[in-house]
């Protein structure tokens, strides 16, 4: 319409937590990063080192974890649905809360938005309670968490495995 200016939808910076502790976890995480790069309007900007961590509030083998920074034009709910489709494709089952998994992809942060819907809460509600999220996130965003926040999860077993 003449004389009317509309703002284009700008891509958002989204931070995604990746984890797996069943099957070939390293391959599952690498495949997830490649698949996220193929999502519509999405670029993978950076990926943290790979970490090995003990399950938190769960049993089972150790997890491999990482965090990825995405630039995406997908709306938060659409991004969540796309990530859940990737989990399904990797054989993710949800028999009970915190069950071992072939792939887990969580929207940790989406721009500077706070989101609370029945299916998506951003920032992720347990972000501050998990070393396997905070350590790789701070690797990509130095200074993002305070020393006190990092100290609060210091008792959780986690090991940086370095580059993939």
Terminal C-alpha separation, the chain: 50
How many angstroms separate the CA atoms of 152 and 33, rounded?
29
Residue 26, classified by CB atoms within 10 Å of its CB into exposed (0-12), middle (13-18) or buried (19+), is middle
> Is 141 a known active-site residue?
no
Of 24, 26, 43, 101, the catalytic one is 101
> Is 106 a known active-site residue?
yes
Of 26, 38, 106, 141, the catalytic one is 106
Of 92, 94, 130, 135, the catalytic one is 92
Nearest to 45 by CA among 157, 133, 119, 140: 140
> Is 135 a known active-site residue?
no
DSSP helix, strand, coil percent of the chain (3-state; round to 5) = 30, 25, 45
> Is 46 a known active-site residue?
no
Of 4, 7, 104, 130, the catalytic one is 104
- What are the residue numbers of the active site? 92, 101, 104, 106
């Amino acid at each position: 319409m003449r004389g009317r200016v509309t703002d284009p939808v700008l891509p958002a910076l989204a931070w995604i937590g990746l984890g797996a502790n069943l099957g070939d976890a390293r391959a599952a995480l690498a495949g997830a990063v490649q698949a996220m790069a193929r999502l519509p309007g999405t670029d993978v900007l950076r990926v943290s080192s790979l970490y090995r961590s003990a399950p938190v509030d769960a049993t089972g083998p150790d997890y491999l974890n990482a965090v990825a920074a995405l630039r995406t034009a997908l709306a938060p709910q659409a991004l969540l649905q796309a990530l859940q489709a990737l989990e399904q494709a990797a054989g993710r089952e949800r028999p009970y809360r915190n069950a071992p998994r072939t792939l887990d992809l969580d929207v940790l942060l989406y721009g500077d938005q706070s989101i609370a819907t029945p299916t998506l809460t951003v920032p992720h509600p347990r972000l501050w309670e998990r070393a396997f999220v905070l350590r790789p996130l701070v690797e990509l965003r130095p200074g993002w968490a305070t020393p006190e926040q990092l100290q609060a999860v210091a008792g959780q077993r986690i090991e940086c495995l370095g580059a993939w």
